[in-house]
Amino acid sequence: MTELAGKVALVTGGSRGIGAAIARRLAADGAAVALTYAHAAGQAADVAQSIEDKGGRAIVIRADHADPPAAARAVEQTVDQLGRLDILVNNAGIFTGGPLDETAGQDLDRILAIDVKAVFLASQAAARHMSDGGRIITIGSALADRVPGPTLTLYSTAKSALGGLTKGLARDLGPRGIRVTLVQAGPIDTDMNPENGPAGDFLRSVTALGHYGRGEDVAALVSYLAGEGGRYITGTAITIDGGLAA
């Protein structure tokens, strides 16, 4: 597939899980890909090597989004090394949960810094380089719309903020032909939320399909939005959750 040939994409948090699947899919569709990592340098290098082994082009950038301006710097590095930026996928994020009474203010500060502020700064920086047809795609969570149990207040708060951010960016950037969308993922089998982990049985039980999704499922949706399929989609959230919210 070469639908994205000539395009340059930046995938934050692209060293593993959903981010790695997205980086590989966009590269398979023809894009040159930059991917960021915070700590997993070896895994990031492996993803980039797997892309290059199939004839693609990939670069790796260290960017710890606990320092939100690092996200904007990653945009500038992508443009410096690959010449342009057409697609930004804000995938980097963390999960913070626990009993409400045990939640500290610094827990809120940290998740908002990584899951919201870094997304805003990366999107702001990317918009400066994008032309008509640019795409900003953020990976959020179905838990923004449905909270199926306790201990999820912080995470749901942060992921809910992405909905407003997406709508605002779409209005700001629509006149320039830049499309902005939010992909709200449900139970996806990753290191952060493994299918065989402690929450696996419960999450399977509250989906309509009765099983987890794969990173490749999210990557396919991102590829659609990044390509011609996303021409008339902006300012909205698309949920991919196996029927969690049904």
Helix (H) / strand (E) containing 11: strand 8-11
Question: Which listed residue (155, 212, 224, 232) is catalytic?
Answer: 155
- 85: closest CA among 73, 97, 76, 72? 76
pLDDT at 21 over 90: yes
- pLDDT for position 246: 84
pLDDT at 113 over 90: yes
Cα gap 197→200, rounded to integer Å = 5
More confident residue, 97 or 216: 216
pLDDT digit string, tens, across residues 189-238: 988 888 988 888 988 998 999 999 999 999 999 999 999 999 999 999 99
In angstroms, how far is CA 120 from the centroid of its own chain? Answer: 12
- pLDDT, average across residues 139-167: 94
pLDDT at 173 over 90: yes
Q: 101-105, 157-161, 165-169: which range is least confident on average?
A: 101-105
Task: Identify whether 155 is a catalytic site residue.
Answer: yes
Domain coordinates in residue numbering, the chain: 8-240
Cα gap 67→53, rounded to integer Å = 32
pLDDT-based confidence at residue 1 (cuts at 50, 70, 90): low
- 188: closest CA among 173, 170, 204, 176? 204
Helix (H) / strand (E) containing 8: strand 8-11
- pLDDT, average across residues 22-43: 97
Tokens 């049985």 correspond to what residue? Answer: 201
- pLDDT for position 149: 85
Record the tokens describing residue 68, joined without a space: 């939100």
pLDDT digit string, tens, across residues 147-160: 888 999 999 999 99
Record the tokens describing residue 239, joined without a space: 């949920």
- pLDDT, average across residues 85-91: 98
Q: Average pLDDT over the chain, rounded to whole?
A: 95
- pLDDT, average across residues 82-97: 95
- pLDDT for position 129: 97
State the pTM of this model. 0.96
- pLDDT for position 146: 87
- pLDDT for position 103: 87
pLDDT-based confidence at residue 97 (cuts at 50, 70, 90): confident
CATH architecture of the domain with range 8-240: 3-Layer(aba) Sandwich (3.40)
